[in-house]
Amino acid sequence: MVLYPVMRKLLDKRVVLASASPRRQEILSHAGLRFTVVPSKFKENLSKASFPTPYAYAMETAKQKALEVARRMHQKDLRAPDIVIGADTIVALEGLILEKPVDKTDAYSMLSRLSGKEHSVFTGVAIVQCSSQGGGLDLDVSEFYEETRVRFSQLSEELLWEYIHSGEPLDKAGGYGIQALGGMLVEAIHGDFHNVVGFPLNRFCKKLAELYHPPRPEDRPREKQDSIPAVDTFDRLGDSKGAGPGQGGARGDRRRPQAPGREHAKDADSKPSVESVPPTAVLELIDGYKVSKALFTACKMKLFDLLRDEGPLSTADVARKIGASEGGTGQLLDVCAGLGLLDKTEGGYSNTPLATLYLLSDGEYSLHSLIMIHEEFSWPFFSYLDFAVREGTVQTQRALGTAGEDHYQECFYKNREKKLQFMRAMHGHTKVAARHVATAFDLSGFTSACDLGGSTGALAYELARQYPGLKVTIFDLPEVIEDAVFFKPHGPEAGQVSFVPGDFFRDTLPEADLYILSKILHNWPDDKVHQLLSRISRSCKPGGGLLLVEMLLDEDKCRPLPALLKSLTMMVLFQARERSLSEYHILLQAHGFTDVRAVRTGSIADAVLATRA
C-alpha cells in the first residue's frame, strides 16, 4: 500500500489547505500531511441549478476555492505554493442540495426532511498543482468527489429541537455533525465516515498516489480489484517544474486509465494470459462506435425531447409517438438506460439529469446540435480514417462526394438551416465550459476584448458577466453575425457585447486590449495558424493579451484521451491538430507573445493566456 509513503514524498512540498474547517485540518494532520491553512475568499454563490448533479456543484466550488488561494498567494509574492487543496461538502436529498443552515428555523427544516430517510453526503476535492516560472503561474487541477450514504432514524420533535438548541447544526452541511452530537441521529452509514465529517481521506490518498507515486512492481495487482488505479511510471509535477499531468474529473481525472493488464507487461516475471489480461477493454473499444450511433439515433429521433414533454412513457407509447417499431424502440431505450441517459421504472422511461441538461434540443446547455454535426459530418469522414492517415489529406471526395477545397463552408454554411445548426452546436459546446474559461485567469486588467470567430457570443457574454467593466467585440463572418441575435441573453451583459462582421484572415481586426481565439487554432493547418497569429500580433499592443481556448495535450502526447480524440478529429476534418503547452510556448513566442500561462480547467476546454511583448 502506498498511501502513507506518498505523504512522505510531499514533505518537501509547500502544501496549502484552502479551508478554515478544523475538521479537515484534523483529518489531514492525523494522516501525516504537513500544510499551511489559508482560508479561501471565494464567494460560494454558484448557481446550483446550472449543475447537472449535486457532486458537480461540490467539485466546482472546491476547485474555485483552491484556485482563489493559489492566485492570491502568487500575486502576493510571485511564488505560489506547490499544492493547494480545496474541498466542499454538501448533503443532498432527492437531488436537493442542503448546505449550512442560516438559522435555527432553517436547521429544523433540513433535519425534518432528513428524518427517517437516506441521503447522500458529497465532498468535492480539488488538488491544484502550481508552477511559478518567470513571474507567471501555471495551474494543473485534478478533482474528484466521494459519496457516502447516510440514513437517519425517525426523529421526534423533542430530539430535533434539543439538537438544534445545542448550536451544533449551524455550521454543518445538512445541519448535523456526525462526529459529535449529530451522531445520535444516524441509524446507518454506507461509505467513508471521514467523508461525512468533511474530507474523504482514503480517496484523497489514492488520488495523491496516482499523481505522485508510481507503483512498484510488487504493489501491482495480479488480479482485477478495487485498488489504486495504475499510472505510468514517470515523474509527476511534484518532481519537476515542467508541465503536469492531465486534468481531474468526477472520481478520477481526465487521463485515460491504463488498460487492464498493461501493468503486467512491465513486470518481466509475468507472462500475459487471458486470466491476467482479460479482453474486456478491447471489447469495449470495439463497441465504442455502437454507443455513439445509439446516442446519435436517440437524438435524431428526439427521444429526450419527447420524454421531457410527456414522460415517463412505456416502450409502446414511445414507439407509437415516433413512428417506429416497438421491438427496436425498446432495445434503443434500454441501451440509453444502460448508458445512464434514461431511467427505467415500472411507470416507463424518463430522462436522467444528464439527458435533461445536455440532450434536449432546446436546453440552455444543449449538445443536441453538436451530436447531429458529428452524425452528419464527422461520421462520414471517420469512415475514411485509414485513407486520411495514409495520404495525409482531407477525405472530402470520399466522404462528401465533392472535390471542393472549402468543405468547411460547404458543410456548415451551405444553407441557413445548416448554418443555424452549426451555430447551435458551437453555442452549446462553448457555453458548457464558458464559466470555467472566463474565471481561469484574472482578466480584470483588460477593458476591451475581441473574440475572433466568436460566433453566437457564448464566451463573450460570460466574460461580460464576470467582468462588468469589460467591453467585448465579436468579429465573425457576416453570415454568422446576421443570426447571432437569436442567441442574445436578456441580462445586462448583453449591453457589453457588440458584433462586427469580417474575415479574420483578410479584414482589419478591431482594436482591443485582449484578443480571444476560442477553438479556432485547432481548425487550421500550421501555415494558416501562423498567418492568423501574425495578424493578431501586429494588432495587439505591447502589454495586451491573447487568450486561447483549446484542449491541451500532455507533453508526452498520450493523454488526456478527450484531447487526443479531438486532435484526431481535427486531423481527419482539416489536417489540423491540438497542441501541448510547450508547443503553444514556442508558437506564441515566435509571434512576440511572452509570459505564456495555462490553466487546465477540468472542463471540456483549457485556457492559455499570453502577453504581447
Q: Residue 489 maps to which CATH number? A: 3.40.50.150
162-169, long-range: CB within 8 Å, 24+ apart, which pairs? 163/111, 164/104, 164/107, 164/108, 164/111, 165/104, 169/101, 169/104, 169/107, 169/110, 169/111
Q: What is the pLDDT of residues 92-120, one digit of tens each?
A: 887 788 878 888 888 888 888 888 888 99
Q: Are residues 302 and 165 in the same domain?
A: no
- pLDDT tens digits for range 431-478: 999 999 999 899 999 999 999 999 999 999 999 999 999 999 999 999
pLDDT value of position 409: 59
Is the same domain home to 282 and 292? Answer: no
Asked if residue 348 and residue 279 are part of one domain, the reply reads: no
The CATH number of the domain holding residue 83 is 3.90.950.10
Dihedral of alpha carbons 501, 502, 508, 513, sign: positive
Task: Please indicate whether residue 426 or residue 100 has the higher confidence score (pLDDT).
Answer: 426
Q: Is the pLDDT of residue 139 over 60?
A: yes
Q: Which long-range contacts (CB under 8 A, 24 or more apart) does 230-238 make?
A: 230/257, 230/258, 230/262, 230/263, 231/258, 232/258, 233/266, 234/556, 236/211, 236/212, 237/129, 237/131, 237/140, 237/211, 238/9, 238/10, 238/13, 238/82, 238/83, 238/129, 238/211, 238/212
d(CA 29, CA 18): 14
Question: Taking each helix axis from N to C terminus, what angle separates 326-338 and 303-310, rounded to the nearest 10 degrees?
Answer: 90
Say if 239 falls within a structural domain. Answer: yes
**Residue at 279 is within a domain:** yes
In whole angstroms, give the CA distance from residue 257 to residue 503: 42
Whose cell is 441517459? That residue is 341
**At 278, is the pLDDT very low, low, confident or very high (cuts 50, 70, 90)?**
confident
Residues 563 and 451 in one domain: yes
CB 319 within 8 A of CB 325: yes
pLDDT cut 70: percent of the chain above it: 87
- Residue 132's SS3 state is strand
pLDDT of 253 higher than 70: no
Q: CA torsion, points 491, 496, 499, 502, in degrees to nearest 10?
A: -150
Please say whether the beta carbons of 94 and 156 come within 8 A: no
pLDDT at 121 exceeding the cut of 50: yes
pLDDT for res 373: 93
Average pLDDT, the chain: 85
Query: Residue 499 corresponds to which cell in the numbers above?
Result: 458584433
Identify whether residues 497 and 567 lie together within a single domain.
yes
Quote the domain boundaries for residue 479.
Answer: 418-612
Q: What is the pLDDT of residues 205-223, one digit of tens each?
A: 888 888 876 554 444 444 3
Span 176-203, mean pLDDT? 88
CB 160 within 8 A of CB 98: no
- On the question of pLDDT at 187 being above 80, the answer is yes
The answer on 356 and 245 residing in a single domain is: no
Distances from the Cα of 216 to the Cα of 212, 222, 269, 412, 451, angstroms = 13, 13, 14, 51, 48
482 and 570: one domain?
A: yes
296, 270: one domain: no
pLDDT over threshold 90, residue 67: yes
pTM of the full predicted structure? 0.61
Beta strands in 329-488 (DSSP E): 342-345, 348-351, 448-452, 471-476
What is the reported pLDDT for 215? 52
How far lies 154's CA from each of 105, 111, 114, 117, 159, in Å?
19, 10, 9, 8, 10
- In angstroms, the CA 404 to CA 395 distance is 11
pLDDT, position 156: 87
Check: CB of residue 549 under 8 Å from CB of residue 516: yes
Short-list 480, 474, 442, CA closest to 461? 474
**pLDDT tens, residue by residue, 297-327:** 999 999 999 999 999 999 999 999 999 999 9
What pLDDT is attached to residue 403?
A: 63
Q: Out of 195, 225, 249, pick the residue that ends a domain.
A: 249
| Mean pLDDT to the nearest integer, 64-77 | 87
Is the pLDDT score of 328 beyond 90? yes
Q: How many beta carbons lie within 10 A of that of residue 296, not counting itself? A: 16
Find, among 575, 612, 569, 559, the residue nearest to 232 by Cα. 559
Coil, strand or helix: which one is 120?
A: strand
In a shared domain, residues 154 and 202: yes
Residue 512 pLDDT > 80: yes
What cell was used for 334? 434500454
Per-residue pLDDT of 564-592, as tens digits, reads 999 999 999 999 999 999 999 999 999 99
| Crossing angle between the packed helical segments 416-438 and 458-466, to the nearest 10 degrees | 30
Q: How far apart are CA 101 and CA 107, in angstroms?
A: 5
**Do residue 215 and residue 275 come from a single domain?**
no
Residue 232 has pLDDT above 50, yes or no: no
Task: Band the pLDDT of 372: cuts 50, 70, 90.
Answer: very high
Which one of 312, 341, 369 terminates a domain?
Answer: 369
Quote the DSSP letter at residue 173.
G
What's the rounded mean pLDDT across residues 29-53? 85
3-state secondary structure of 104: helix
The DSSP letter of residue 414 is S
The answer to whether residue 382 is domain-embedded is no
Could you tell me where the beta strands, DSSP code E, fall in 237-331?
248-249, 252-253
Cell 487543496 maps to which residue? 85
CA–CA dist 572, 9 (Å, integer): 43
Which residues lie below 8 Å from residue 571, measured CB to CB, with a gap of 6+? 388, 577
Same domain, 443 and 573: yes
- Please give the pLDDT value at position 242: 33
Does 293 score more than 70 pLDDT?
yes
Same domain, 267 and 358: no
Domain end, chosen from 369, 397, 430, is at 369
385 occurs within a structural domain: no
CA distance 236 to 231: 10
Contact assessment for residue 298 and residue 340, using Cβ atoms and an 8 Å cutoff: no
Residues 595/610, Cβ–Cβ less than 8 Å: yes
Residue 572 lies in a domain: yes
Residue 257 has pLDDT above 60, yes or no: no
Identify which of 127-141, 228-242, 407-421, 538-552 has the greatest average pLDDT.
Answer: 538-552
Domain tally, the chain: 4
List, in order, residues 6 or more apart from 603 with CB less than 8 Å away. 432, 433, 436, 437
Whether 27 maps to a domain, the answer reads yes
In a domain, 386, yes or no: no
Residue 568 CA to residue 601 CA, distance in Å, equals: 21
- Contact 442/71 with Cβ under 8 angstroms? yes
**Which of 303-312, 412-421, 492-501, 539-548 is predicted least confidently?**
412-421
Task: Please give the distance of CA 570 from its chain centroid, rounded to a whole number.
Answer: 20
Identify the pLDDT of residue 138.
83
Residue positions annotated with a catalytic role: 88
* Residues facing 251 on adjacent strands: none
C-alpha to C-alpha distances, 378 to 258, 374, 396, 420, 573, nearest whole angstrom: 27, 5, 11, 17, 7
- Quote the CA–CA distance of 52 and 364 in Å, as a whole number: 12
CA distance 613 to 597: 14
* CATH number of domain containing 361: 1.10.10.10
Does 135 fall in a domain? Answer: yes
